[in-house]
Amino acid sequence: MLDIRIEKAAVKKSKPADDSLGFGRHFTDHMFIMDYDAGQGWHDARIVPYGPISLDPSAMVFHYAQELFEGLKAYRRSDDGIQLFRPDKNIARMNSTCRRMCVPEVPAEDALQAIKTLVDIERDWVPHSQGTSLYIRPFIFATEPQLGVHPSKKYSFVIILSPVGSYYAGGLAPVKIRVERKYVRCVKGGTGEAKVGGNYAASLLGQQEAEENGYAQVLWLDGIERKYIDEVGAMNVFFVIDGKVVTPSLADGNILPGVTRASCIELLKKWGYTVEERKVSIDEIREAYENGTLNESFGTGTAAVISPVGEYNDEGYSIRINDGKIGPISQKLYDNLTAMQWGKAADEMGWIVPVE
Ligand code: COI
């Protein structure tokens, strides 16, 4: 059990209206912080007023990006109870990213206690309207003040909270995605499956160019053959081809092992769909489109939930899906997942953790 010191904010912020939330633009009154020193381990767990963090300019995170993060959500039920969705999966993934980044792991029970305690203190910040939630962003960064390239001996683990609406401005409206042919996100053996800021930094230029051309995101292809589909950066991707659900497998370590991805696979299998986790080439998608068997495509992610894809554009070749409308499998997944998350349906899968 962590001994968390709590220092309450003297002045509380005014809360934004539910219909003006957007994604990740507002932050609550408090944050969780815990420090690590080699020889001492994690120590000094505290919840303090939300505010700037002071770091030495030589702190290693600024120079060598030894940093990682997670994303999960707290939801308000209609009886005003607050609940988390599969936090154990996010904590396990955080620790797997820690191992890849030579960062000391945080004991899973301590991480869960920190999340629950902070969310409980901020429960009034969990928004009420349909489709809204409180996004939880845990992150760890290297703070040792020195410039040699090796793992830091000091870290901070911080959790901040942000009331959010939909990730995309259009909500559940199908998004347009550009197939990225110039840049790559990762290669086998790299950090593709780790949730590190560096992956997102490397994606920005492609993302910016796609946005300038009217696309919401880019579809990353594998960095070696430039042929197999990896993911969309902020989402994992699924395709429905001739009634079967197909999604890139985790085997090459190129893509993030998404919690929403895993949950969709489990639900689809339970409902009797065939789900194939395997290599999916962009040529296969073009071919399925041409012969009329590409029924649907959607992205999955904590932030985006289920995001139908209306079009992929591959260097001017347009793959239009389901007439640019949400398909039945995407809709069914969205309805069922969100019903569980918002406590409107029974927790048949055992995925819900209440914040008492
Ligand atoms: C999430 O879905 O939680 C993500 O981390 C995606 C993105 C906002 C970075």
User: pLDDT digit string (tens) for 181-225?
Assistant: 999 999 999 999 999 999 999 999 999 999 999 999 999 999 999
Q: How large a percentage of the chain has pLDDT more than 70?
A: 100
Taking all residues of the chain, what is their mean pLDDT, rounded to a whole number? 96
Find the helix packing angle between 328-341 and 259-270, rounded to 10°. Answer: 110
List the beta strands (DSSP E) in 227-290.
236-241, 244-248, 275-278
- Which residues have C-beta atoms less than 6 Å from ligand 1? 71, 234, 301-303
Which domains are assigned to the chain? 5-166 (3.30.470.10), 175-341 (3.20.10.10)
Instruction: Please answer whether residues 247 and 237 qualify as being in contact, where contact means their C-beta atoms are separated by less than 8 angstroms.
Output: yes
pLDDT at 171 over 80: no
Q: Which atom of ligand 1 is found nearest the CA of 167?
A: 8
242: alpha, beta or left? (left if phi > 0; alpha if psi -120 to 50): left
Q: How far is the CA of 135 from the centre of ligand 1 (A)?
A: 10
For residue 310, the model assigns a pLDDT of: 96
Look at residue 317 and tell me whether its pLDDT is greater than 80: yes
More confident residue, 356 or 85: 85
Would you say residue 168 has pLDDT above 80?
no
Per-residue pLDDT of 287-304, as tens digits, reads 999 999 999 999 999 988
- The tokens describing 111, both together, are 């991480």
Residue bearing the CA closest to ligand 1, atom 5: 71
Q: Which residues make Cβ contacts (< 8 Å) with residue 149, sequence separation at least 6?
A: 64
- Which ligand 1 atom lies nearest to the CA of residue 135? 3
pLDDT score at 159: 99
What mean pLDDT do residues 73-98 have? 97
Tell me how far apart the alpha carbons of residues 236 and 231 are, in angstroms, rounded to a whole number. 5
* Average pLDDT value for residue range 44-69: 98
User: Whole-prediction pTM value?
Assistant: 0.96
Query: Which atom of ligand 1 is found nearest the CA of 258?
Result: 2
* pLDDT tens track for 241-272: 999 999 999 999 999 999 999 999 999 999 99
Residue of 288, 232, 221 whose CA lies nearest to 260: 232
Task: Look up residue 287 and give its amino acid.
Answer: E
Looking at residue 169, what is its pLDDT?
73
Ligand 1 centre to CA of 156 (Å) is 20
Q: pLDDT digits over 336-354, tens only?
A: 999 999 999 999 999 999 9
Q: Which two tokens stand for residue 224?
A: 């070696």
pLDDT band at 324 (very low <50, low <70, confident <90, very high): confident
The predicted pLDDT at position 304 comes to: 86
Which atom of ligand 1 is nearest the CA belonging to 234? 6
- Three-state DSSP at 75 gives strand
Q: Ligand 1 atom closest to Cα of 71?
A: 3
Backbone angles phi, psi at 255, to 5 degrees: -120, 160
pLDDT at 170: 72
Q: To test the ligand 1 pocket, which listed residue (86, 167, 307) has its Cβ within 8 A of the most ligand atoms? A: 167
| Distance from Cα 268 to the centre of ligand 1, integer Å | 22
Question: Ligand 1 centre and the CA of 303: distance in Å?
Answer: 5
- At residue 94's C-alpha, the angle toward residues 71 and 77, to 5°, is 40
What's the pLDDT score for residue 162?
A: 98
Name the residue type at position 310: G
Residue 105 has a pLDDT of 98
Q: Is the pLDDT of residue 82 over 90?
A: yes
In one-letter notation, the amino acid at residue 191 is T
Distance 300 CA to ligand 1 centre (A): 10
Q: Within its chain, how far is the Cα of 260 from the centroid?
A: 9
What's the whole-number mean pLDDT along residues 41-66?
Answer: 98
Q: Are 352 and 83 in contact, with CB atoms under 8 Å apart?
A: yes
pLDDT above 90: residue 88 = yes
pLDDT at 18 over 90: yes
Q: Which of 166-170, 176-180, 318-322 has the lowest mean pLDDT?
A: 166-170
Nearest alpha carbon, ligand 1 atom 3: 71
Ligand 1 atom 6: residue of nearest CA: 234
Is residue 331 pLDDT above 90, yes or no? yes
Burial class (CB in 10 A: 0-12, 13-18, 19+), 52: exposed
Q: Which residue has the higher pLDDT, 233 or 46?
A: 46
Report which ligand 1 atom has the smallest distance to the Cα of 301. 2
Q: Are 306 and 174 in contact (CB under 8 A)?
A: no
Q: Whose CA is nearest to atom 9 of ligand 1?
A: 234
Ligand 1 centroid, distance to 219 Cα (angstroms): 15
